[in-house]
Chain A
Amino acid sequence: MTPMPRLVVPARHDKLAEVSKFVASAAMDAGFGETVVNRIELAVDEACSNIIDHAYDGGKGAICCDVTAEPGQRLKIVLIDQGHPFDPASLPEFEPCRTLDDVKIGGLGLHLMRQVMDDICFEFNLPGVGNRLTMIKHYDRSSQRS
């Protein structure tokens, strides 16, 4: 198991790239292929955007990111914030539609997170912690770096 240094950034959209690259680097080091790394980067970006927009409601705060890589097995990403508890179930479920005119765009980010990650766990108001989002990506043959 290889824990990475913790990254703490202000909860601002201009910090999304920094968090995403931090996680992408860990995913690459763990042996995930480019396509999967891009998808993991996307899931983290969407999760952080939700924290900024919903948990902090655009206000001040911080996002703490911990990544633990188990090469050849899995990547565990933990995002912690001290904003309002953001219940993803409060968002409308994204439903892919047959025509773009029918697409209801709410919940798009969460849909992408669920498409990419194997396990997602939201925990709210943990004493001494705050809100904690844990996302896990398992390593399989399709994840391999080519």
Chain B
Amino acid sequence: MIAVLNVRESAYIPASGDSADRKPIPVLTVSGRLDASTVHVLERALMRALSQDTRAVVVDAAEITYISSSGLRVLLAARRQIRERGGDILLCSLPPNVRDVMNMVGFTALFSIFENSDAAKQAAADMY
């Protein structure tokens, strides 16, 4: 049994606002099992997203089937990095088991979490 994690990398471009402000916002759609053996896939995608001049990264967790502390650590590290430039990681569509794990360590009260990707993208656009 091999754990599999996929991260689809796309960009959201807000429809409104000044053209200069309409920077693409990285959107990572994560699916599969997020544990110590697969976390590098998300880590690399986050690093690519953070290397862009962006203040927001949306992480759509709807299809994450499992998360361990390895996944939490990577999300936390990415958030710390983007906070240094006044930005944020916006999580959305958390499955119940992922929300449960985040609750156990108090992260749901600390991360920016949205019900769906539209809400997260809108919040990301509002940051500019």
Contacts and interface: CB of A to CB of B under 8 A. Distances in A.
B100 A111 contact: no
Contacts of A21: 1
A18 B1 contact: yes
B76 interface: yes
Interface residues of A, number: 33
Interface residues of B, number: 27
Interface stretch (B13-21, B29-37, B50-58, B119-127): B29-37
Contacts of A112: 68-69, 101, 104-105
Given A35-B97, A39-B100, A112-B105, A14 B2 contact: yes
B111 interface: yes
Interface in B62-101: 66, 68-70, 72-73, 76, 79-80, 83, 96-97, 100-101
Interface in A1-38: 12-14, 16-18, 20-21, 35, 38
A94 interface: yes
B66 A41 contact: yes
Given A100-B80, A101-B83, A46 B69 contact: yes
A17 B35 contact: yes
Interface stretch (A63-71, A102-110, A118-126): A102-110
A99 interface: yes
A52 B68 CA distance: 15
Interface in B1-57: 1-3, 33, 35-37
A52 B80 CA distance: 27
List 4 tightest A-B contacts by C-beta distance, closest first.
A96-B106, A13-B37, A17-B3, A108-B69
Given A42-B101, A108-B72, 11 more contacts: A17-B1, A17-B2, A21-B1, A39-B100, A46-B69, A49-B36, A94-B105, A101-B83, A108-B69, A108-B105, A111-B104
Interface of B: 1-3, 33, 35-37, 66, 68-70, 72-73, 76, 79-80, 83, 96-97, 100-101, 104-107, 110-111
18 contacts: A12-B37, A14-B3, A16-B36, A16-B37, A17-B3, A38-B66, A38-B100, A42-B66, A45-B36, A45-B68, A94-B105, A97-B110, A100-B107, A100-B111, A108-B73, A111-B105, A112-B68, A112-B104
Interface of A: 12-14, 16-18, 20-21, 35, 38-39, 41-42, 45-46, 49, 52-53, 94, 96-101, 103, 105, 108-109, 111-112, 115-116
